[in-house]
Amino acid sequence: MQISGSIALVTGANRGIGRHFARQLVERGATKVYATARNPEQIDIPGVEKLQLDITDPRSVAAAAAAAPDVTLLVNNAGITTFTNLVDGDLGKIRSELDTHFWGTLSMVRAFAPVLGANGGGAILNVLSALSWFSHDGANAYGVAKAAEWSLTNGIRLELAGQGTLVTGLHLGAADTDMMASYDGEKMDPADVVRAALDGVEADRMEVLADEWSVLVKEALAKDPSAFYALTGR
């Protein structure tokens, strides 16, 4: 999968990591970049084609697929975080996390898989999280939703292999974006996250771990959970 000459569509391109994806895709020679958002007037990236898209609205997703029949690279980046727990958190917020990260991503995949297949296979890049693999009190709804999206990523990789579609999962800890503005810990430069992700797609990698934290968490999956939580002080 080559970025140069590709036709890319990025969800949630109006800010944060999505904005960096759209910008770097243009810089790396993508022939066309569909930069999408619920409010496309907020997109301010030169050289992109703006497109209205709400991934939680099936009609909006269908309209985007009809408007972008030439896509060869789909970047599923759009996401939210409500900082909600599971036991006593607001059920509406928990559902909203799943509607966005799982159902919204699945809706995009189902709509664009035929498009990618018709255009030679192409690639899907799903923006996941280190929280796909561990829980954090205060953001457990996000962790559940990202775990579901990780499993979705692994599943569609198998289902789309026959049409030649690469499926890459991107995992990262905290990036310096609006979504993580309230987080006081160390944050990655989102430009570095995107650069690593696009390099991974071009290398046909199934998974990209963008930072040391994601590597640490992934390695901990094979160990007893108590060892991981002792390490993190939780």
Q: What is the pLDDT along the chain (234 residues), one digit of tens a residue?
A: 999 999 999 999 999 999 999 999 999 999 999 999 999 999 999 999 999 999 999 999 999 999 999 999 999 999 999 999 999 999 999 999 999 999 999 999 999 999 999 999 999 999 999 999 988 899 999 999 999 999 999 999 999 999 999 999 999 986 555 565 455 656 678 899 999 999 999 999 999 999 988 998 899 888 888 877 776 655
Do 210 and 196 touch, CB atoms closer than 8 A? Answer: yes
- Which residue is it, tokens 């292999």? 161
Output the domain CATH number for residue 204: 3.40.50.720
The interaxial angle of helices 225-232 and 212-220, nearest 10 deg, is 150
**1 is a domain residue:** no
**218 is a domain residue:** yes
The interaxial angle of helices 16-27 and 190-202, nearest 10 deg, is 50
**25 is a domain residue:** yes
188: containing domain: 7-232
Q: How far is residue 108's CA from residue 75's CA, in Å, rounded to a whole number?
A: 10
pTM: 0.93
**78 is a domain residue:** yes
